[in-house]
Structure 1
């Protein structure tokens, strides 16, 4: 069904914003924040009936699937800024292929619709690393595909997102809650620069208000460089748990994923792909974002505290 044309004085002042990925962790938290902005918000959904009860009456929910290019043209009609927060890792064993196809479909549809700006959340990691995990490699590839759309693309690259409901953080949480003694693989000493979900949302919102310009990649993270072992220790400290981490260098990422499948609620395939990415350092090497955006990310200790106390965004 064609979308209704906006009417009234708001047509000239309220841009149309498309949110793809509203049912995901970050997208679901971004949705109510966008609804408070002076925009016409449109959400792309494979099953609109499931999403409609979660949005306000003024939010448009349109049927569309990033793997079905024929469903995207109408959804993107008249859109000024599109948020692309889609990641197909949880629903596909061949997620690299499907993420590539989905991004290609979306980029082509955005070009045809004349979308001005695409905002995308990807992952940190060094492109020059020959051992970059398939998960991080795919995140970077999606960014390049969207950048090729012709629309100005603002790509944020982040490490682990700290917040209840974030799959990566929930893996850390589940391990610490369930295992008093942990046999720790080498990847627990890999440097990482996680970021609080509230700060990710602040960056995403601020990207909409950037003046027009060239496509850019911004690396974002907390001011703290830590390790996954360090996050486990800090989480345990705040929860009042005594935990012992025993280093076992021979525990490979693949064996670690088998271990994680036994002690966490995460599906095996998703856990395996996430663990494969933990071997790669994910730190901010370019701090340009701090000079462009007014966001000042909180430290790891504060981010974990907020995740545990459920402090509102």
Structure 2
């Protein structure tokens, strides 16, 4: 069992809050269109911070825990790319001006961290109390993987999101962004701007992704500290990554299929672990190094295959996938077939 002191927890959380504060300060102080060079610099910085932390963590606590951290980081980074894809759709759906997009993204990242911290604490407590939670988490991931694969050619139905539709029905909402404010006074009455609705949409998406990503990373490690840091460092660079790869995202046509395979693999790993612990210790388990190799291999294959596909067929377009079919309409794939 990994022994993390209260001081280490405090310093780690302090570092993450400091990095988030810098992001928030930049977003609030200087709203602007983020260019390629700036996005690249920040992306490299956040990846360097995550890798540097991993190196320190490995030297401090050994190769086993270091491997678990890097495996967890890669899992969360890959899932955060799909999260990012949905952010792109939300921002496009509500036509968020470019100068306000980084404010939306920063809010989304902060909210995602808060939600994931809550789910980490809850998940760690449940796993410590009830070993059958490994089975439930595993079945949840397998179910999610099947649904994601079935609807891999779809986009989330953002406009029909329950929370978004409720907000639009009960709140006075203007069509103007009013300088990036959430609430403004127009014509003598207080109204909510579209940015407020966008943040509601982002928050509901963050909740869904937290429910999937936390069981996924617990499939790699049972250590709450590793789960938290892997999530935090994977999410911290998301704002810069958005501006860096939003054009590339549409070319990752097999990303949803790859993520479905990864979630299914981790789900099976959790189920085998439960069977090994609760049923029979002769049931084989999947080690973390093997998990790391499988995850990296799947991501490499789907990335290369996606780029080859879009080079041969420029009209092919990626979709983040959905966990259920859209009601009232049939979704067509890029080749004209119904999935």
Structure 2 length-normalised TM? 0.22
TM-score, L = length of structure 1 = 0.24
Structure number with the higher strand fraction is: 1
Higher relative contact order (CA 8 A, sep 6+): 2
Structure 1 or 2: more helix by fraction: 2
